[in-house]
Amino acid sequence: MAGFYIKKVIAKSDKKETADVTFKPGLNVIQGRSDTGKSCIVKCIEFVFGGSMKTLKTPFKPSAEYNEAIVVLVSPEGEITVSRKVGKNQVEVSTEIEGIDSGLYNLKHSEKSKVPDFNLIMLRLLGINGEPKVPSNARFTPGRLTWANLLRLFYVNERRIDDEVSIVEPQETYEKTLFMSSLIYLLSGRDFSEMDVQTQKKIRKARKEAVEEYVNGKLSNAGERKERLEKELQIFRGIDVEAQIVQMISSLEETEQKIAAALEESKKLLSSIMTLEEKSAECNVLLSRYQNLRSQYKADIQRLSFIVEGEVETKKLPRVTSCPFCDGKITPHSHKSYVETSKAELARIMAQMEGLAATEIDVRAQQELNEQQLTVLRERRSGIDAMIEQELKPESVKLTESIRGYRAYIQIDKEMQLVSEFARDWAGDLTKLDVQEEDDKEKEKIQYHPKEHFDSQFQTIMSEYADSILRECNYHGLAAARFDMKKFDIEVNGEPKGASHGKGYCSYLNTVVALMFRKYLMEHGKYNPELLIVDTPLHGFDEDDSEDAPESMKAGLFNYFINHQEGQLIVIENLDHIPHLDYEASGANVITFTKRKVDGERYGFLNDVY
């Protein structure tokens, strides 16, 4: 966001107390009697902004004994305090804005000086980075775009307020062209750099020589490169490279197919191997189980043998028929025999063992067969893998490298063609350079007229503004108003502003012109400080009875100020002439100098100056 406003104006003295006034955004009215320092305030602003030592050596009267002016500016990024001492062409800047250094700045540009230009800060506040160059004459010679050159747009002082000529356009030819170019830059950002055909002959010659040297160097490098490429192509002489590439690609595709088929076969063999390995594992599990079962059968046989042997031994024991203690008769119990049952159980187990042995023989036979098949499959798979790794892949790599080599030939051949084409183009560029030089000489004949480069609607819009502002200001006797591009000034009722009236009307209409440009910059400009200072817009109405403008017209102008407080507007007027309106009710900042030494009232701007 660009733009700024003036917050404070300060006058300092080594002998007196500091004087200051404070402003705010919107309308600021400085009203007072004659010789109370109203104009001194804006002269301080002009002085700090870079007023020429020739036209404005000091903003103070010698008797005032003040020697330094300070202006505090406020931008969206922060505050900047700028001070200038009388007799100095430098200002002291103090700020905390990032990208703007505090310190001394030159008001007068010097290529040799190491001190930066204050102009860079003011352009930065407008939103312009750096210091653009714009045409300064009809030959498009670049000139510096400066705030001092643009200041007449935003500050109409008492010396110019009643001019019969354009209040905006300078009358000096050099200043006129540079100002107009600067105004176009504010409106559109165009600097006409594309039209700058005024490059000095020695610069143009140096540029041409540099281009020729560069292009000739490229041509020399191209020749050396082509020679190296031709040597690289010698190894391919007598070979139909395209045919070789086709053949090798076909062989490579065939080899890749073989690799794919071999990998597929290896995959199938691996699947069969895994199946047989699973079956072999199952056989091992069965044999392990059979071994455990045989051990169980043996344990059962041993158990039955213990039963039978026990029963045989039991029968050998004598039968007890009397009690060993009382000699009483005991009836022996009968014992059930398990011999037959054990025999039957033994026969069953033996039969199972015989079946187990037969089954175990079958399983071992199957396992042996599996191992034989696994050996065959593994050997086949190893052979396929060896063929892939030792034959097919090396063949694929060999073919790929050969194809890459032949393609390198094609690349080299194409590069040679490109080198040749570039060499021809560069040689053609040298010819075009000579032609361009002739064209530049022809373009030197083109004349720059800045008014031809304003937007096509500029005059129409400015004329609409002239008419609407005058009507809002209740301009007496208005039939029609327009903006004259040739004079770059307002025309009322078909006449220039000074044709039928004196200085009072010129001051009034010049103020309207300033308001027109203010409105255009706000609505259509690319860059705009959003600031306007007008010193005594009613100046001259009291010099001649014939210049007694209707009070409604004067009030209309100041009502316009009240109703259009965009940005910052500072208006200075004599207390005897300013319309009696309720400025403060509209939010305006009113500063009044009474020229009376009364408590609560301010005599003037500077202290002890009467």
pLDDT recorded at residue 172: 82
Let me know: does 394 contact 252? Beta carbons within 8 Å. no
Tens of pLDDT, residue by residue over 510-546, are 999 999 999 999 999 999 989 999 999 999 886 644 4
pLDDT at 545 (0 to 100): 46
Inter-residue contact 571 to 30 (CB < 8 Å): yes
Backbone CA torsion sign across 191, 54, 487, 27 = positive
Q: At what angle do helices 551-563 and 458-472 cross, to 10 degrees?
A: 120
The H-assigned helical ranges of 189-240 are 201-233
**pLDDT tens figures, 143-178:** 999 998 899 999 999 889 999 999 999 988 778 999
Q: What is the pLDDT of residue 185?
A: 94
Residue 200 clears pLDDT 50, i.e. is over it? no
d(CA 300, CA 127): 110
Q: Taking residues 34-59, what's their average pLDDT?
A: 85
Give which of 531, 509, 566 is closest to 45, Cα–Cα: 531
Q: Please give the pLDDT value at position 103.
A: 96
H or E element at residue 402: helix 393-443
Contact between 523 and 559 under an 8 Å Cβ cutoff? The reply is no
Instruction: Give the pTM.
Output: 0.62
∠ at Cα 117 (115, 123), nearest 5°? Answer: 150
Would you place residue 242 in the very low, low, confident or very high pLDDT band (cuts 50, 70, 90)? confident
User: 3-state DSSP helix/strand/coil percent for the chain, to nearest 5?
Assistant: 55, 15, 35
Q: Does 25 score more than 80 pLDDT?
A: yes
Distance CA 595, CA 583 (A): 21
How many Å apart are CA 484 and CA 482, to the nearest integer? 6
Confidence of residue 1 (pLDDT cuts 50, 70, 90): very low
Residues in the chain: 610
Q: How far apart are CA 370 and CA 305, in angstroms?
A: 40
HEC readout, 99-147: CCCCEEEECCCCCCCCCCEHHHHHHHHHCCCCCCEEECCCCCCEEECCH
pLDDT digits (tens, 9 = 90+) for 441-483: 545 556 888 998 999 899 999 999 999 999 999 998 888 899 9
Once rounded to an integer, what is the mean pLDDT over residues 95-122? Answer: 92
**Domains along the chain with CATH numbers:** 5-198+449-593 (3.40.50.300), 241-318+336-443 (1.10.287)
Of 88-97, 199-208, 368-377, 568-577, least confident by mean pLDDT is 199-208
